[in-house]
Amino acid sequence: MTFGPTSVFAKGKEGAKGPRTEPISRSSSSSNMFSMLSQNSEIAADASGPKPTTSRPASRKTSIDLRTTDLPEAPLQRRKLQLLPRSKMTEDGGDGTAASTPVSENGEVEESGAAADSMSEADAKKHLDQDSKEFFAVRNLDEAEDYFQKLTPEHRFRLVDKLVNTAIESKAADAQLVSDFFARAHSKDLCSEASFEEGFMPIAELLDDIAIDAPKAFDLMAVMVKGASLSEDARGRIAAKSVDSEKLLALLST
């Protein structure tokens, strides 16, 4: 045992007997310091300057091609225009109101109810056969107005000829029915005077022969011609087609 003041070096000796702690390496301390400084400089650079671009490619998202496809678009179809007869306003001499009257390109007044499309002679005759049978069976003037309207103007004389040809050898009631129908067609401009006249001509030429088997043929013819309200000149031309033109003209004048 040693007496006296404890020496500092004595503690060192005693500590040397126990486990010895490794001193911190100077090189590792310096590297840690530089590492912290470099990290601080990088953080400062990120905060102050723009972000550096990386070599890592950006993630791709599924894109939608908004361009037009290769499929052809359906062409726009324009509606067909339906051309109607040009109408011209004409003054009414009665109450002063204006009335619309169909007028052709050359200024002539057209018949009302004209069919829109052209019609062949064969198609016209089909209508005539059916309508003539229906007319004398039903005997309805309201429904008969459609007979003229179904025909184009150039074929309307055929309806006149068909009805007159049937009634001329029939009863007086049938001739009067035809006369009433012609009067309505005249008042509603369903048939022009020229078409009426053209329809009466074939029967007027054969009237003398028809009168041999049908003695009332002249009288029935006069009844139907009067129903059409023809002008005096038109009646004279029709009567002139008959061999006994004076007899027919006399009946038309009464």
Give the range of the structural domain holding residue 162, as residue numbers without chain letter: 121-253
Q: Which of 233, 228, 177, 224 is nearest to 204 (CA)?
A: 224
Residue 204 exposed, middle or buried by CB count within 10 Å (0-12, 13-18, 19+)? buried
- Confirm whether 69 is domain-assigned: no
Residues 242 and 208: beta-carbon distance below 8 Å: yes
Give the count of domains, the chain: 1
Q: What's the confidence (pLDDT) of residue 245?
A: 94
Using the predicted structure, report yes or no on whether residue 87 has a pLDDT greater than 50: no
- Confirm whether 197 is domain-assigned: yes
| Percent over 70 (pLDDT), the chain | 54
- Confirm whether 116 is domain-assigned: no
- Confirm whether 105 is domain-assigned: no
- Confirm whether 102 is domain-assigned: no
Name the DSSP letter for residue 20. Answer: -
Structure confidence by residue, pLDDT tens digits, 196-214: 999 999 999 999 999 999 9
The answer to pTM > 0.75 is: no
Structure confidence by residue, pLDDT tens digits, 124-172: 888 899 999 999 999 999 999 999 999 999 999 999 999 999 999 999 9
Instruction: Report which of residues 135 and 80 the model is more confident about.
Output: 135
Using the predicted structure, report yes or no on whether residue 242 has a pLDDT greater than 80: yes
- Confirm whether 137 is domain-assigned: yes
- Confirm whether 209 is domain-assigned: yes
Q: What is the CATH number of the domain that holds 219?
A: 1.25.40.180
